[in-house]
Each structure stands twice: as C-alpha cells, then as structure tokens.
Amino acid sequence: MVRWLLWNLPQQFVDKNELEKAAAQLQQGLADTSDENLKAVINLRLARVQVQLKQADAALKTLDTIKGEGWAAIVADLRGEALLSKGDKQGARSAWEAGVEKRCYPGTERNDADEN
C-alpha cells in the first residue's frame, strides 16, 4: 500500500498539474525510505517535477544526491534539461554528451568488436 501511494499519488498530482503537491509527496517518500535505489528513483522523479516548477537549481541539487554509475546516464539527461531551463545551452550540451558517454541505458552498450 505504501509503495502504491508513493508511486501513484505524486503522479496523480502531476496529471492535475498540482506540481507543488507532487513534490511534497515525493519528499515525504524520501523521508520514509532507507532503500538507496528507491531514493534514487524518487529523487529522479522529484528533479523532473522541480524542472517543471522552474526550480532548476533545486533540481540540480536533487540530482547531485543520486550516486552510482547505473543512474549516470539518466541523471545526465535530467541535468541537461535543468541547465537548459536556466538558459545554459553549453552546460546542457555537455551534460547530455556525458550521458551518451556513460552508455548506461539497457541495450546501448557499445561492443568495440562490432566496429571492426
């Protein structure tokens, strides 16, 4: 039940464009869990909401809390969105390029043997 609320309630608020309420629910979810992977997912969702709220600096701080190479590409993508929303086109480009270099999305791992 708790996980259902954690996933669905914030999304319901986003669907209604009640982004402040969505952010509050996500922050409550962070306080209620100790699972690091779940915290990473919640922080990703929170950063997306913060970008929508035009809170780019808050989104960047939220993204800074996400650790682990498995999250690197998606964090870089969101970092690019946040930077672009601040008008930092070069920073956004650099973030997106870093994400591409990480190649962490499933199925996109580069096999150097394929290039020969």
- pLDDT tens per residue across span 47-64: 999 999 999 999 999 999
CATH of the domain at 9: 1.25.40.10
- Domain range for 81 is 2-101
Q: How many CB atoms lie within 10 A of CB 65?
A: 13
Q: What is the pTM of this model?
A: 0.81
H-assigned helices in 32-71: 36-52, 56-64
Supply the DSSP symbol for 105: S
Flag whether 115 is in a domain.
Answer: no
Q: What whole-number percentage of the chain has pLDDT above 70?
A: 82
In the chain, which stretches have pLDDT less than 70? 1-7, 103-116
* Cα(73)–Cα(41) distance, integer angstroms: 13
Our separate counts of H helices and E strands in the chain read 6, 0
How many distinct structural domains can be found in the chain? Answer: 1
